[in-house]
Chains A and B, each alone.
Chain A
């Protein structure tokens, strides 16, 4: 077999895959190769793009309304837990809800001798209290102390903390919360001005945190930062 033969084989296989001609076993074997071979993936994308003009023959048909309702019920079982989009929060409609769950917490300031003297706090809580995290920020130290009082990450996932500055265009990650209930996060200098008046939120993400730099999983809890 020459290299050209091998290439032609891959072109053919990629075409058979794109047309969905392979049986289930062949398809699985080919998909295992796709995971490992970017060049093969490109061949499949190329076929899909080149064949897609045939899709003009699929005549449009408006689906019944019930289908969208079923999809929403599968994806967003609202009775279970809030999975608000941070974008919704940013666009204001959910800000009231976020504020409603954020309660002013009086910290035991006389807990001497700790030098940690917070002036800003937020209770980041799920609507049903299934996840409650108390965050407090002490300007003298630059430390944001995060105390997970209830709840945990779903199995196989991690909790990631986000800061949405007042009027900001996008949330900024403050990192993945460790398994420990209490953790101290040293805020980067450029984020310190953003914390007052900001909103903190926790999403569930793949292990290692959001791969994109923005939340990819459900937003489990939110809380506005308030002054004490």
Chain B
């Protein structure tokens, strides 16, 4: 069982150029991070490339981890998710592909819960539930599928500016709830 402290320790040692720690970090976290890439990119070959990008970046950036204020799994997941979405956007070139719609509600939480305290999860779920259902789903779609404003507008069949307004208001509401 890899604890948060273990992952933190590995990242710090990677920051010192420790290759053994890099391999240990890969063994401990690559399945989760590959899951991020697969979900966002929905293509195995591209997900493998994105995972490679992510670990190259992790090696290069681990030295600055200690000062950036992130918890270890959040840092790894955020970095990986951003690279995967960059790749997704580059592939799509902004085009909306309406055919591969995922049912967001279909996918329940996995047993992999070690990285995140259950109370934080229920807090976020509680705050998302305070939003209108379709707006909460738009936030989930942006996070889990990497949907852009264009794609969200198309999926929810509303004008782009309406989607922007929805999302921005939802973010303010969400923040108020999460900070309460």
- A88 adjacent to B124 (CB under 8 Å): no
Distance in angstroms from A12 CB to nearest chain B CB is: 5
Q: Kindly report which residue of chain A lies nearest to residue B55, judged by CB atoms.
A: A71
Contacts of B37-95 to chain A: CB distance below 8 A: 38-39, 47-48, 51-52, 55-56, 59, 63, 68-71, 73-74, 77-78, 81-82, 85, 89
Asked whether A223 is an interface residue with its Cβ less than 8 Å from the other chain, the reply is: no
Asked whether A111 is an interface residue with its Cβ less than 8 Å from the other chain, the reply is: no
- B51 adjacent to A67 (CB under 8 Å): yes
At the interface with chain B, which of A16-24, A119-127, A175-183? A16-24
A127 to B130, CA, bound (A): 63
Name B116's contact: one of A19, A24, A56, A76 (CB within 8 Å): A56
Instruction: Convert B107-129 into 0s and 1s, putting 1 for each residue whose CB lies closer than 8 angstroms to a CB of A.
Output: 11110110110001101110000
B144: chain A residues at CB < 8 Å are 54, 57-58
- A21 adjacent to B167 (CB under 8 Å): yes
Q: Kindly report which residue of chain A lies nearest to residue B54, judged by CB atoms.
A: A71
- B143 adjacent to A214 (CB under 8 Å): no
Asked whether A8 is an interface residue with its Cβ less than 8 Å from the other chain, the reply is: yes
- B17 adjacent to A16 (CB under 8 Å): no
Prevailing SS type, chain A contact patch: helix
A70 to B30, CA, bound (A): 14
Name B68's contact: one of A45, A75, A88 (CB within 8 Å): A45
Number of interface residues of A (CB under 8 A): 54
- B77 adjacent to A55 (CB under 8 Å): yes
B139: chain A residues at CB < 8 Å are 19
Asked whether A113 is an interface residue with its Cβ less than 8 Å from the other chain, the reply is: no
B68: chain A residues at CB < 8 Å are 45
Asked whether B36 is an interface residue with its Cβ less than 8 Å from the other chain, the reply is: yes
- B82 adjacent to A12 (CB under 8 Å): no
Asked whether A209 is an interface residue with its Cβ less than 8 Å from the other chain, the reply is: no
Q: Kindly report which residue of chain B lies nearest to residue A215, judged by CB atoms.
A: B17
- B168 adjacent to A12 (CB under 8 Å): yes
Q: Which residues of A contact B (CB under 8 A)?
A: 8, 11-12, 15-16, 18-21, 23-24, 41-42, 45, 47-64, 66-68, 70-71, 74-76, 83, 85-88, 203, 211-212, 214-219
Could you write out 14 A-B pairs with CB less than 8 Å apart?
Answer: A11-B171, A12-B171, A19-B167, A21-B167, A50-B120, A51-B124, A52-B115, A55-B32, A59-B110, A62-B31, A63-B31, A66-B48, A85-B18, A88-B19
8 closest A-B pairs by beta carbon, nearest first, are A15-B171, A53-B121, A60-B31, A63-B34, A58-B35, A56-B109, A19-B142, A20-B85
